[in-house]
Amino acid sequence: MMGKCKLEIINLTKTYNDKNIFDHFSLTLPEKGTVCLYGPSGCGKTTLLNCIAGLEPYDSGVIAGVEKRKIAYLFQENRLLPWISAAENIAAVLRGNEIQNREEARIWMRLVGLEGEEDKLPAQLSGGMKRRVAIARVLAYGGDLFLLDEPFRGLDPESKEQMISLIKQRTNDALKILVTHDKQEAEILADITYILSGPPVKIDKKIERNLQEVM
């Protein structure tokens, strides 16, 4: 992994269709651990992830510390390539030779509970199965900054529990930024939870793992 440092968002400003999404918004995130962004739909959480990932421009401000990290992004949409199999979707992000990638992809399929489904196209999988393939792919790609946008949407309670456990095991030394509307997910995964409102995005509360409100 690349050298890690704190990720700092400093005076971020962004306007979209004459709407202020960020108005001198600032936030400092730790070197590792899980930070949850919790707030209503449309308040700007996904836009913030996209700005961190470099997928959306912003008008002014600085996002520092990203350039030293390998970013793995799990979008709200599964974004699986429809013309290749589930296992091939995972193998596509791997860096070994073809045989190594195929074997590692099958291992990941087993880890997310989809052994025997490797050769199916995404269209042949249920919504929850496709989500697990997407989770496997982002974990297989790896990184030291994981952007997780509603990562467990569409999963039944048992699958969700399994995927939470797998993410915790496989990303222990990384910084995770988790966007969720699920209070239970935040409580299980997050070391720090920011309760947001907006737009423009603002922090209403900051809650530590011990559930004490500190802001």
Same structural domain for residues 160 and 62?
yes
pLDDT at 87: 98
Boundary (domain end) residue, out of 142, 157, 181: 142
Contact partners, residue 158, CB within 8 Å, separation at least 6: none
Regarding whether 7 and 57 lie in a shared domain, the answer is yes
Where would I find the H helices in the chain? 45-53, 86-91, 98-111, 127-141, 157-170, 183-189
pTM assigned to the model: 0.92
Domain presence at residue 75: no
Task: CATH number of the domain at 153, please.
Answer: 3.40.50.300
Per-position pLDDT tens, the chain of length 215: 444 678 999 999 999 888 999 999 999 999 999 999 998 888 999 999 999 999 999 999 999 999 889 999 999 999 999 999 999 999 999 999 999 999 999 999 999 999 999 999 999 999 999 999 999 999 999 999 999 999 999 999 999 999 999 999 999 899 999 998 888 888 888 999 999 998 999 999 999 875 444 44
Same structural domain, 150 and 124:
no
If one counts every other C-beta atom within 10 angstroms of the C-beta of residue 137, the result is 24
Q: Are residue 164 and residue 64 in the same domain, yes or no?
A: yes
> What is the C-alpha separation between 189 and 37, in angstroms, rounded?
12
Distance of CA 51 to the CA centre of its chain: 13
Kindly state whether residues 58 and 85 are assigned to the same domain.
Answer: no
Task: State the amino acid at position 172 in one-letter form.
Answer: N
How wide is the angle at C-alpha 70 spanned by C-alphas 68 and 76, nearest 5°? 130
CA-wise closest residue to 25 among 64, 60, 67 = 60
pLDDT of residue 40: 86
Range of the domain at 120: 81-142
Q: What is the reported pLDDT for 4?
A: 61
Tokens of 144: 């030291």
Q: Are 147 and 53 in contact (CB under 8 A)?
A: yes
Cα–Cα distances in Å, from 199 out to 20, 42, 123? 6, 8, 36
Q: How many domains does the chain have?
A: 2
